[in-house]
Amino acid sequence: MMTPCNRLADASRAYPGTPRRVAFVGNSLPRRCGIATFTTDLQSAVAGLGAAPETIVIAMTDEGHAYDYPASVGMVVREQELQDYESAAWFLNAGRYDVVSLQHEFGIFGGRDGAHVLTMLARLTMPVVTTLHTVLADPNEGQFRVLREIVDASARVIVMAEKGRELLQTIWNVPPDRIQVIPHGIPDSAFEESADSKRDRGFGDRAVILTFGLISPNKGIEVMIDAMPEILRSRPDAVYIVLGATHPNLVRREGEAYRTRLKERTRQLGIEDHVLFLDQFVDQQTLVGFISMCDVYVTPYFNEAQMTSGTLAYSFGIGRAVVSTPYWHAVELLDQGRGILVPFGDSGATGREIAALLADDERRQRLGRQAYAYSRSMTWPSTAERYMREFGRVVERHDGQMHRRSASSGAGSKAVPRIRLTHFESMCDDTGLIQHAIGSVPDRRHGYCLDDNARALLLHCALETLGEEHLPESMAASFTAFIQHAWNPQTRRFRNFMGFDRRWCEDFGSEDSHGRALWALGDCARSGRRTARRDWAAALFAEAAPSVEGFSSPRAWAFTLLGLEAFGFVDAGGARTSELQHELAGRLVALLEAVETPDWVWFEDCLAYDNARLSQALIVTGVSTGQDRYVAAGVRSLRWLMKWQTSPSGVFRPVGSDSFGHSRRPPRAFDQQPLEATATIAACAAASRAEGDARWDDQAQRAFAWFLGGNDLAISLIDPEAGSCCDGLHPGRANQNRGAESVVSYLLALTQIRGLERAASRTRRVEMSPTAAARGRIESHQ
């Protein structure tokens, strides 16, 4: 008998980097859907291997429903509850799972276009292998954004047909080495002639045609019903069995109206005795019995763009002759005469082909045996073996990179500090974040400003996404309340400066502070933990955004674009969002083209503050809208800026504030401010994601090293225990004051770098550049 230790030892011989703990994320039986069946079957098959890892399922549960899940389900995620996704990440990280197998289908995850799952993926510390059950050839903008981020977060992407590989490479621009094709699994059952099974189920010598699966209008069952009179002319003993419950989503919308219409159709044709509706969701053993007794299995689906069909795979694998419409999966599986294809919606052709098969026992049986022989590599044990090999490869690569990173750290590189919020929290009161400090003591004389509280909300969202530390809920509420109070509906602008006495110093603030508030609101609308807060942020964003059209500040445009990129996940496909993105991005590109010369690749005649945000805004907007020219302009300007932000000794040197206002001159070295380093890190990270070039990650790391002493004075600017940061570098010394802008800049930079470190350790970045081929499909939806 094999003990658990022996099994694990055997596993390590079977697969390189063999995972000992595997988590599957998807729907699970007894929920009624194809993804639930697939996830359950795959988990069971992996758990049943001779060298089996410990497995668990994280089950997605649809709103308003509860299921009696089996013991294999370790946690339930309510699809619309964002905090459940965060909890799932914590559960998996704490459980030290080696790899996560994510089952992706549109519609099973909450949020716009399923964006909630990104919250979980961003927090996981192990590699993710994603199985895509659908790959769209013509996605809308929201679908493109979300699925691209999922692919970006995956060490490997699995599809079940070569058509999926083709689309991922040509439409989604995924590198070939990131894609693996593993066909849909099938039961490992012995070949059985239909006659034996028919007798067991009371169908005697009748000719049996079968369709099974959850019933919905896209399955084309009415086409097969219309084909029955043609079949009955030559085989009056024929019976068409429709096995399956009505799809739960359809039942919620209209009850059993669709099934009733189908039954009425059979009565109108006078064939009600030859069409049998079995309203059941059956287990695998019962299903195999029904398939085994049929003479012909038919999938008359209407939609060509079906990447996989579990019902087709099962029937084919049990050795039945198949007649199908030419959707993608059927075209591949039934190629080279392994089945029969008929045109979409053509009941005449369907009837003729099935009648011909029922009249030719030798041909029908030959097709079944050919299908059975071809499908032996698709059995669930074989499928589980292939998945385990992929899991092993990504785990081995992950472990190798972790080892190299550890060795590099031991060779003298500076470790990235832990996130500490002590100083930040000391700078806050129940009004918000205090602007300035004398040393590390808050200086109440200068009160508060919208700029700093918007940055604080951005920090809150970044911490929520990273999942390592969290701000107190009362503190986050103070930042949001400050932003709300700053909004002046009479002027349609945000106020900026407030005295410590809580009196506003102005009716409206700068354009830049307005843009920064929109940036924070957009980010909060996308990634805030609480639904009510996300809704508030989205509503205020929509109210305040139109004012930006009258602004002239390039930085206000850039900050707003960063907010629009985040807001787009909430308002995916919104015409106004898209129009404003293109308007503001077009203005930045026009500025660059008007000012740019071979020696001065910038948007203005001089360098000022938060420079890299201009480049970052164009890069992320180009990626989200599918506009190559925005990305190209952003990367081009950032590359030029990085040349100026590198000292002769090779350390990062942010544009000094002494440079401000000097037209077309090299930037001066001082004073250097944390804000510039933080902006540069974010811009380089955006360029890395857009271009798939790890050298941008190196640039981001070099900019972060500025905080730790990799600067012109070789002195650290942070207190890692308190999480505070000096206000900048003067010639010969650091500014020892530690105000709001500086501490938030440092903490935002730290969350960005810790996120990059986590992504690098999981080897989870997919090289994906925004090519015109991948984007043209998106532009058609704008």
E strand intervals along 82-217: 99-104, 128-132, 156-159, 179-181, 208-212
582 φ, ψ to 5°? -70, -35
At 414 the pLDDT is: 55
The residue written with tokens 């400066």 in the block is 497
Instruction: Determine how β-strand 54-61 pairs with β-strand 21-26.
Output: parallel
For 422, the token pair is 């002590």
Phi-psi region of 663 (alpha: psi -120 to 50; beta: other; left: phi over 0): beta
At 638 the pLDDT is: 97
At 545 the pLDDT is: 96
DSSP H or E segment with residue 441: strand 441-449
At 761 the pLDDT is: 58
Q: Which residues contact 345 (CB under 8 A, 6 or more apart)?
A: 220, 223, 302, 325
- pTM for this predicted structure: 0.58
Whose CA is closest to 298, among 390, 211, 415? 211
- Distance spanning both ends of the chain, measured CA to CA: 62
DSSP H or E segment with residue 488: strand 487-488
At 67 the pLDDT is: 93
Lowest mean pLDDT among 181-190, 461-470, 704-713, 756-765: 756-765
> CA dihedral defined by 633, 634, 637, 642, rounded to 10 degrees?
-150
DSSP 659: G
Residue 12 pLDDT > 60, yes or no?
Answer: no
214-249: pLDDT as tens digits: 899 989 999 999 999 999 999 999 999 999 889 888
40-75: pLDDT as tens digits: 999 999 999 987 899 999 999 998 889 999 999 999
DSSP 652: B
Instruction: Determine how β-strand 128-132 pairs with β-strand 156-159.
Output: parallel
At 404 the pLDDT is: 47
| CB distance 580 to 565 below 8 Å | no
For 498, the token pair is 């407030």
CA 773 to chain centre: 21
Cα separations in angstroms, 199 against 245, 289, 290, 318, 639? 24, 11, 12, 18, 75
> CA dihedral defined by 427, 433, 435, 438, rounded to 10 degrees?
-10
Residue 273 burial by Cβ neighbours in a 10 Å radius (0-12, 13-18, 19+): exposed
The count of other CB atoms within 10 Å of the CB of residue 720 is: 16
At 766 the pLDDT is: 37
Q: Residue 341 pairs with which residues in a beta bridge? A: 324
Residue 780 pLDDT > 50, yes or no?
Answer: no
Q: What is the mean pLDDT of the chain?
A: 88
78-124: pLDDT as tens digits: 999 988 898 898 889 888 899 999 999 999 999 989 999 998 998 88
376-427: pLDDT as tens digits: 999 999 999 999 999 999 998 876 655 544 444 333 345 788 899 999 999 9
| CB distance 251 to 33 below 8 Å | no
At 760 the pLDDT is: 65
Q: What is the DSSP string of 325-391?
A: ---HHHHHHTTTTTSEE--TT-HHHHHHHHHHHHH-HHHHHHHHHHHHHHGGGGBHHHHHHHHHHHH
For 7, the token pair is 């099994």
Residue 782 pLDDT > 50, yes or no?
Answer: no
